Amino acid sequence: MEKHVFLLILVFLVKFSISIAASNETDQKALLDFQNLISPSRFLAINWMKNTSYCSWFGVTCSPKRQRVVALALPNLQLQGTISPCLANLSFLRVLNLGNNSFHGGIPYGLGHLPRLRVIDMQNNKLNGSIPTSLFQHRRVQVISLAFNKLHGEMWKGPWYVPELRVLDLTNNSLTGVIPPSVGNATNMINFSLFGNRVNGNIPKEIGNLSQLADLSLSDNQLTCSIPAILFNISPLLAIHLRNNSLSGPLLLDEGNIVSNLEVLRISHNQISGCIPSNICLVLTKLKILSLSFNNITGEIPRNIGCLANLEVLYIERNAISGTIPASLGNISTLQNLDCSHSRIVGQVPQESGKLSNLRLLNFEHNYNLIGQIQEAIFNISSLETIAFNSNNLSRRIPSTTGLHLPNLKGLYLGDNHFEGEISLFIINASKLEILGLAQNFLTGAIPTNLGNLCEPMLRYLQVGYNPLNGVLPNSIGNLSSTIQNIE
């Protein structure tokens, strides 16, 4: 009996050591085969010495006991060539990072069968062909990053089984086809990007099953139909990028029981219709960036928009938004960029706008029907870089900025309105002003002599044509003539 047990152990040991020897030979063979398909690289030549153990080669990590390759990390080395299918013989491989090189050709199918693979990062190469379907059926894979390649074909439409997948980054390839509903099976996904591909069809409602999703980037594709309201019920979701698709229908916000943490919503350049939802404040209280521009949105800006107390960017230009500017906008003290141009907004610029003390961009150009005067307080927001109210129906005097401070103002566009009075001293403190557009108003008097006295003359464009001005260009303009490229 004892003898038998002893024999058994012996057989086991012999078998085991044979398998170790065979295996680490396999790993070395696989690595050398991989190297063979890389154009001669000085770096590899001096760092992968055949007289040293492959476990000490640059970028290779082995398991301490069994001496099997568990990680191959060779990013940022300008390696060129194709990726050898023999890498799929590194059966203990967990991490494969070949990012930021110049590999071309296809991704070996067998890589998706490496049972221990956790991370496959081949971003920023020149890989073509399609994504091995085996990667969509991998029990352990956590990160698939194939961004910035030339992959084409479709994502696998069959059942996905990737319970551990956290990041699927396919940014900037040439993928076609649809987003398969099976994506809903990747329930641990945190970041999903198809940014910059040619994917069409609708956004499947199953995406609502991705309850850990934090970042969804589907911009620059050809997606159609409406935005599934269920997206706004994914509590961890921080950013939704759907810019530049062919999405239509209204933006509907589901008033679920879940608190949305969404900070970024970019849906510009689509064909979204309907109104800006009036419940936006109930649902998306944490928004920092809201971009709805270049759509077919109608209706008014919700009166209570001011409740978006963290908003930094509001882009709603190039829609058919009507009504007046809500006074509550002035309560969003975090607002930096406000673009409501090329729409159908009417009425006065509310006094409260002057409270936006962090504003850099204020653009209401081409609404045609803004009336009344520009609040002087706006001209005292020192962070402002661009003020654009051209092509409206504004009138009365342009506020004098004597005593006010616009140290960052680069562009002031007030042309094509009904401003009257003498061109005042309003640019006296705008030492960074590059573009001053005042054409097509009823401005009178002479061009102020102090224009040429700005401490650092930056002015490049001065547009004062089509005003009943009198007098001549002041001599001091001569000091500017080296920088001014265009006077109209």
Ligand X SMILES: *[C@@H]1O[C@H](CO)[C@@H](O)[C@H](O)[C@H]1NC(C)=O
Residues that bind ligand X (CB under 6 A): 20-21, 24, 26, 29-30, 33, 49, 51-55, 67, 75-76, 86, 89, 97, 99-100, 105-106, 121, 123-124, 128-129, 148, 159-161, 166-167, 172, 181-182, 184-185, 190-191, 196, 206, 209, 214-215, 220, 239, 244, 248, 269, 271, 273, 296, 306, 327-328, 331
Nearer to ligand X, 143 or 433 (CB): 143
Nearer to ligand X, 66 or 418 (CB): 66
The minimum distance between CB 215 and ligand X, in angstroms, equals 4
CA–CA separation, 208 and 81 (whole Å): 40
At a CB cut-off of 8 Å and minimum separation 6, what does 76 contact? 99, 100, 101
Coil, strand or helix at 235: coil
Nearer to ligand X, 32 or 458 (CB): 32
Secondary structure (DSSP) of 382-397: TT--EEE--SS--EEP
CA dihedral sign of residues 273, 277, 280, 281: positive
The minimum distance between CB 190 and ligand X, in angstroms, equals 5
- Check if the beta carbon of residue 365 is closer than 8 Å to that of residue 340: no
- Check if the beta carbon of residue 39 is closer than 8 Å to that of residue 80: yes
The minimum distance between CB 406 and ligand X, in angstroms, equals 25
Nearer to ligand X, 289 or 477 (CB): 289
Helices and strands (DSSP H and E) totals, the chain: 3, 31
The minimum distance between CB 403 and ligand X, in angstroms, equals 27
The minimum distance between CB 432 and ligand X, in angstroms, equals 29
- Check if the beta carbon of residue 227 is closer than 8 Å to that of residue 255: no
The minimum distance between CB 360 and ligand X, in angstroms, equals 21
Closest residue to ligand X, judged by C-beta, is 99
Nearer to ligand X, 293 or 401 (CB): 293
Residue 322 per-residue DSSP state: B
Nearer to ligand X, 219 or 401 (CB): 219
Q: Which residue has the tokens 């803004």?
A: 370
- Check if the beta carbon of residue 101 is closer than 8 Å to that of residue 80: yes
The minimum distance between CB 66 and ligand X, in angstroms, equals 8
- Check if the beta carbon of residue 183 is closer than 8 Å to that of residue 161: no
**Could you tell me which of 160, 155, 156 has the C-alpha nearest to residue 221?**
155
Pairing between strand 215-217 and 191-193? parallel
Nearer to ligand X, 89 or 353 (CB): 89
